[in-house]
């Protein structure tokens, strides 16, 4: 059954929940999900609400207009309206490491997620055989300092042609330029192979080994203009010991990376992530 999914935030004021839930209920929408949260530091109200459309009196294509006129203006809401029958379209970017890509492809192929996957983009040809195994088109854009701007422009054209909604960087070892980030705000999901903000940048497992930490982690976040500093969606950790070599950390880290990235992608696909400033609201 098709459902509307509404994510919003606005300055906190009395009566918002009552009004929004009343609007849906009196128009015969059956609310099947509601989660809200007030940030009392910033005084911002956040909500995710989902209702069934089969009896809803307002036609699907007019919901946005009505909601905007009746509530969003009044409460200065920033909001997004989705429909459960529209699958978001995902592009995956990879370089040479296959573990995250395999994990994403196996979930996609097994039908675990409500998502379309029209293409994979890479700066290297190495993982094309993996893409072929799963029948996903694979495009190679080698990147050099000289051609980077032009290649990204080609990539963006390809993404637009394929009506891509969001991008997953599955251990893609190239910094994304601001232009592409601006085109997909809070829609590019990266996996960083450390427990951020520890070990920003390259070779975090080597840095973790040198520092002698007892736990390593992985962090999935939305990409912003500042490296490894965007809003965090998901993190997880695993315990290590003095016996673990750098190679052991890399091996244990791979499991973390793929699980953490896939959890973040899943939350994004379910439209349960809302970024505000540099923090995320992850609805339950």
Catalytically annotated residue among 228, 236, 248, 255? 228
Residue 226 found at the interface with its own copies (CB under 8 A): no
Q: Which is nearer to its own copies, 63 or 233 (CB)?
A: 233
Tokens of 262: 């896939």
Which of 2, 11, 32, 150 touches its own copies (CB under 8 A)? 32
DSSP conformation letters of the chain: --EEEEEEEEE--TTHHHHHHHHHHHTT-EEEEEEEEEETTTTEEEEEEEEE-TT-SS-GGGHHHHHIIIIIHHHT-EEEEEETTS--EEEEEE-S--HHHHHHHHHHHTT-SS-EEEEEEESSSTTHHHHHHHT--EEE----TTTHHHHHHHHHHHHHHTT--EEEESS--SPPPHHHHHHSTT-EEEEESSSTTTT-SS-HHHHHHHHT-SEEEEEEEE--SSTT-SPEEEEEEEE--TT--HHHHHHHHHHHHHHHHHHHHHHHHTT-EEEETTEEEE--
Query: From the CB of 73, what's the least distance to its own copies, in Å?
Result: 20
Residue 236 found at the interface with its own copies (CB under 8 A): yes
**Binding window for its own copies (CB under 8 A); candidates: 73-81, 85-93, 143-151, 228-236:** 228-236
**Binding window for its own copies (CB under 8 A); candidates: 64-72, 137-145, 179-187, 275-283:** 275-283
CA distances in angstroms from 243 to 39, 212, 215, 237, 239, listed in the order given: 43, 11, 13, 17, 12
Which of 2, 11, 25, 54 touches its own copies (CB under 8 A)? 25
**Binding window for its own copies (CB under 8 A); candidates: 1-9, 136-144, 166-174, 229-237:** 229-237
Residue 173 found at the interface with its own copies (CB under 8 A): no
**Strand duo 215-222 + 188-192: pairing:** antiparallel
Query: From the CB of 209, what's the least distance to its own copies, in Å?
Result: 8
Query: From the CB of 92, what's the least distance to its own copies, in Å?
Result: 15
Residues 48-107 that bind its own copies (CB under 8 A): 98-99, 102-103, 106-107
**Binding window for its own copies (CB under 8 A); candidates: 65-73, 149-157, 166-174, 232-240:** 232-240
Query: From the CB of 102, what's the least distance to its own copies, in Å?
Result: 3
Residues 105-164 that bind its own copies (CB under 8 A): 106-107, 109-110, 112, 133-134
Site string for its own copies, 193-212 (x = CB under 8 A): --xxxxx----------xxx
Residue 43 found at the interface with its own copies (CB under 8 A): no
Tell me if residue 228 is catalytic. Answer: yes
b vs e for 98-117, b when ≥16 Cβ sit within 10 Å of the residue's Cβ?
bbbbbbbbebbeeeebebbb
For residue 57, count CB atoms less than 10 angstroms from its CB and return exposed for 0-12, middle for 13-18, buried for 19 or more. Answer: exposed
Number of residues that bind its own copies (CB under 8 A): 64
Q: Applying CB under 8 A, which residues contact its own copies?
A: 14-15, 17-18, 21-22, 25, 30-32, 34, 36-41, 98-99, 102-103, 106-107, 109-110, 112, 133-134, 195-199, 210-215, 217, 231-237, 239, 241-243, 245, 251, 254-255, 259, 262-263, 278-282, 284
Residues labelled as active-site residues: 228
């Amino acid at each position: 059954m098709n459902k509307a999914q509404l994510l919003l935030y606005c300055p906190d004021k009395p009566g918002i929940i009552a009004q929004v839930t009343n609007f849906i209920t009196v128009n015969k929408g059956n609310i099947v999900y509601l989660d809200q949260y007030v940030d009392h530091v910033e005084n911002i109200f956040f909500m995710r609400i989902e209702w069934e459309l089969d009896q809803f009196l307002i036609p699907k294509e007019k919901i946005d207009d009505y909601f905007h006129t009746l509530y969003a203006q009044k409460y200065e809401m920033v909001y997004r309206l989705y429909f459960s029958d529209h699958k978001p379209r995902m592009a995956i970017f990879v370089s040479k490491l296959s573990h995250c890509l395999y994990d994403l492809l196996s979930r996609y192929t097994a039908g675990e997620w409500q998502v379309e996957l029209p293409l994979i983009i890479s700066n290297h040809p190495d993982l094309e055989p993996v893409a072929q195994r799963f029948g996903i088109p694979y495009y190679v854009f080698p990147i050099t300092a000289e051609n980077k701007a032009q290649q990204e422009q080609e990539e963006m054209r390809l993404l637009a042609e394929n009506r891509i909604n969001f991008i997953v960087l599955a251990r893609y070892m190239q910094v994304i330029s601001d232009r592409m980030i601006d085109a997909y705000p809070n829609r590019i999901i990266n996996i960083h192979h450390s427990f951020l903000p520890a070990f920003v940048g390259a070779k975090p497992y080597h840095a973790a080994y040198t520092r002698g930490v007892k736990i390593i982690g992985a962090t999935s976040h939305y990409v912003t203009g500042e490296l490894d500093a965007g809003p965090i969606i998901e993190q997880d950790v695993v315990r290590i010991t003095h016996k673990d070599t750098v190679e052991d950390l890399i091996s244990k880290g791979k499991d973390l990376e793929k699980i953490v990235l896939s959890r973040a992608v899943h939350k994004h696909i379910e439209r349960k992530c809302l970024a505000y400033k540099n923090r995320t609201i992850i609805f339950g």
